[in-house]
Chains A and B, each alone.
Chain A
Amino acid sequence: MKGVVFTSFIEMVEQKFSLEIADRVITGAQLPSGGSYTSVGTYDYREMLALVGQLSAATGLAEGALVRVFGEYLFRELVAMHPEFLQRNQGVFAFLEKVDSYIHVEVRKLYPDAELPRFESGYVDEATFYMEYRSSRPFADLAEGLIHGAIHYYGESIEVRREALDGEAPTAARFVLCRGRDARG
């Protein structure tokens, strides 16, 4: 998993909770990397699972909810780093459609060995868009958080419905986005 995900996660914990909790989470997770992350590095995704587990224990919040919130946070970070990706596209659907064909291509230019999740997307009808997440790692929640980050960024009114794929496994999910209804229904 790319270092930027880890550095953003630590930052979020420091900001939303406290330095103290961040320190506890890192120390408690007993990480092989020692918790020293750089955005240009690559780290074992299991360290992220351990960190999330520690944060959940420290705050009493569900892991899934934490990861989704982190997804939204991560999205804002990525926008700050690469605003051009978003300015190119008119709206959420157009942006999400390009994730595989554009963003992941750009990622591979910098990190040829990055293992990226696969996204399959398309229109159900004019107002309905779907996106299927499949990865070797269990981060469907993170994907959901990122999608919410994008909706927030473009300020559109879109409702997201998550459907389980592969029998509730966290390595896959189908998100159906409906435009025009209140996102929080």
Chain B
Amino acid sequence: MDELALLRRQLERERAARKQAEQIAEQKTREIYYINQELRQLNNHLEEMVELRTAELAKAHDEAIQASLIKSQFLANMSHELRTPLNAIIGYSEMLTEDAKTLNDPMFVDDLDKINRAGKQLLTLINDILDLSKIETGRMDVYMEPVDVSMLIQDVLVTVRPLIEQGGNTIELACEPGQLVTDVTKLRQVLINLLGNAAKFTKDGLVKLEARRETRDGTEGYAFRVEDSGIGMTPEQVERLFQPFVQADSSTTRSYGGTGLGLAISRSFCEMLGGGIGVESEHGAGSVFVCWLPQGLLPEQEELRSRMSAGSAPRQPVSILLIDDEHTTLELLRRYLASAGWTTAFAESGAEGLRLARELRPEVICLDILMPSMDGWAVLSAIKNDPELKDIPVVILSMTSDRQLGYSLGAAEIVSKPVGREQLIGIMDKYIALHDNAPVLVVEDDATTSEMMARMLHKEGYAVTRAGNGLEALERIEYQQPQLILLDLMMPKMDGFQFLRELHRREGWRDIPVIVVTAKSVTPEERLRLHGYVHEVMQKGSFDRDRLLTEIRRAHSASASEPAGPSPEEKGMH
């Protein structure tokens, strides 16, 4: 009985304990529930907050993009505003340099050259910044055209050779001739940048430029290799190399100058053209940059045939006779001169040269000295002793030129090879008759630029009329039809686009060649609008007096074969 009571008591205690445990469990569960509830609310609140923040971020992001667009637009406008006066500085300094040379004032020539160089340097910088902003906003356009690799390399070399040689460096060249279809302006810029860097970071060393066919991933193409024996880079420096605004390190900027934009732009260009750029470098042991571009689709090869016909159709009046035994040199010179709008004939031996000189009576003769059987000196003497030929100026283009002998034999000028395109054109320009007062209309609202162009053209023998906007230009054409129009795009009252539309409405006017000369960045859409209306678009970003003159000459000579408008009565400037 006692035991039973004991067990009962124990059971009671156990039951009470169980109930207690259950209560505790309930209470804990409730607590957990409430805590859960709180957590859930907190979570919801957090989600709301995240949504809010996300919306804020999205807005900030949109605003940033908008701001970036505005910035790019501003940059584009700004660079236009900067380039216009800068072009005037460069243009006028070039004209004054010419004058100073004529007046034989070497001190002025030197000073003016400095102004010119500084101006061009500034222009390059502005162009780089504009390029980069275009790349960043995806507004950089690409124009594919067939490019002759040897010619391009020669061209590039003429530009960079002084830079490379300045530092006591030797330049070595290896080029596999051929063609590729690419954007030649961009490729040129890339190569000049790479070679310019090589020159900048190498002293008394070697800079090698190699262009070779190379197939990558089954695609044919060209690899352009620029190697130097300069200071080289550490792996860390290489890693940062292609980032815009970053150079090897800040001390590099201090000791070597530059903006650090060149390589970033070069890489973007190469990628845009379907290729790439790579670098290998060892600190203290030089760098190798390789830019590879795909071959691209070549158009039908008309090249050969046109070359043949140029040699075998000597009935046309010929401006320049080239005498050189080296076929590749002849070909290069011929292309340079043809690109400037001149007709050429060529001879591969001295005797043939003399024969053609008598037959064609060219305005200028370009003569090589080192030739087999009859050398250049003999040809020069023969020409100068022939009463019918002695007045034709002879320009000697040679590697070994005994200046004294040349001048005593009657050479007009002695130029050492290799000669660049612009240099050659500049020389030929001096000896080829002026442009017979061919009427040219300059349509430009900026008075300084307009006057500069007018003076430049006047010097070249063109008769210049000026108009400040499209409406004025139409009036001028009504009065006198020009053989060529130089047109700005951004003008008050009637802009360039409207003017072109008006010009094309008139039967007799629509064939007048038009060269657009603008500091504005022409968009692809605008280019499309201009297509078919204009001969050439020259952006003043790449403004260059010689280039402009070449374009003018080319456009002019293209239209000269067609019947010209009323003969010019008026000369000079207004």
Interface residues of A (CB under 8 A from B): 7, 19-20, 22-23, 26-27, 34-41
Q: Would you call B101 an interface residue if the criterion is a C-beta within 8 Å of the partner chain's C-beta atoms?
A: no
Interface residues of B (CB under 8 A from A): 3, 6-7, 9-10, 12-18, 20-21, 24-25
Closest chain A residue, CB of each to CB of B28: A40
Q: Is A36's CB under 8 angstroms from B10's CB? A: no
Contacts of B18 in A (CB 8 A): 38
Given the known inter-chain contacts A20-B6, A23-B9, please indicate yes or no for A40 contacting B16, CB distance below 8 A.
no
Interface centre among B3, B6, B15 (most CB of A within 10 A): B6
Q: Is A37's CB under 8 angstroms from B6's CB? A: no
Q: Is B10's CB under 8 angstroms from A40's CB? A: no
Contacts of A39 in B (CB 8 A): 21
Q: Is A23's CB under 8 angstroms from B6's CB? A: yes
Contacts of B25 in A (CB 8 A): 40
Contacts of B12 in A (CB 8 A): 36
Given the known inter-chain contacts A19-B6, A20-B6, A23-B6, please indicate yes or no for A36 contacting B13, CB distance below 8 A.
yes
Q: Is B20's CB under 8 angstroms from A35's CB? A: no
Residue of A20, A35, A40, A41 near B13 (CB, 8 A) is A35
Q: Is B6's CB under 8 angstroms from A36's CB? A: no
Task: Please give the distance in Å from B2's CB to the nearest CB on chain A.
Answer: 8
Residue of B6, B7, B13 near A34 (CB, 8 A) is B13
Q: Total contacts A to B, CB within 8 angstroms?
A: 37
Contacts of B10 in A (CB 8 A): 19, 22-23
Given the known inter-chain contacts A20-B6, A23-B6, A23-B9, please indicate yes or no for A36 contacting B24, CB distance below 8 A.
no
Contacts of A22 in B (CB 8 A): 10
Task: Please give the distance in Å from B8's CB to the nearest CB on chain A.
Answer: 10
* Additional 17 contacts, C-beta under 8 A, given A20-B3, A38-B24, A39-B21: A7-B17, A19-B6, A19-B7, A19-B10, A22-B10, A23-B9, A27-B9, A34-B13, A36-B14, A36-B15, A36-B16, A36-B20, A37-B13, A38-B17, A38-B18, A38-B21, A41-B21
**With A and B bound together, what is the CA distance between A20 and B4 in angstroms?**
11
Contacts of B24 in A (CB 8 A): 38, 40-41
Contacts of B13 in A (CB 8 A): 26, 34-37
- List 8 A–B pairs whose Cβ atoms lie within 8 Å, in order of A's numbering: A7-B17, A19-B6, A36-B20, A37-B17, A38-B17, A38-B24, A41-B21, A41-B24
Q: Is B9's CB under 8 angstroms from A41's CB? A: no
Contacts of A38 in B (CB 8 A): 17-18, 20-21, 24
Query: Which 7 pairs across A and B sit closest by C-beta, in order of nearness?
Result: A36-B16, A38-B21, A36-B17, A36-B13, A38-B17, A23-B6, A38-B20
Task: Please give the distance in Å from B483's CB to the nearest CB on chain A.
Answer: 96
Contacts of A36 in B (CB 8 A): 12-17, 20
Task: Please give the distance in Å from B24's CB to the nearest CB on chain A.
Answer: 5
Closest chain A residue, CB of each to CB of B19: A36
Task: Please give the distance in Å from B514's CB to the nearest CB on chain A.
Answer: 86
**With A and B bound together, what is the CA distance between A35 and B15 in angstroms?**
11
**With A and B bound together, what is the CA distance between A22 and B9 in angstroms?**
11
Closest chain A residue, CB of each to CB of B25: A40
Interface centre among B6, B15, B17 (most CB of A within 10 A): B17
Task: Please give the distance in Å from A120's CB to the nearest CB on chain B.
Answer: 32
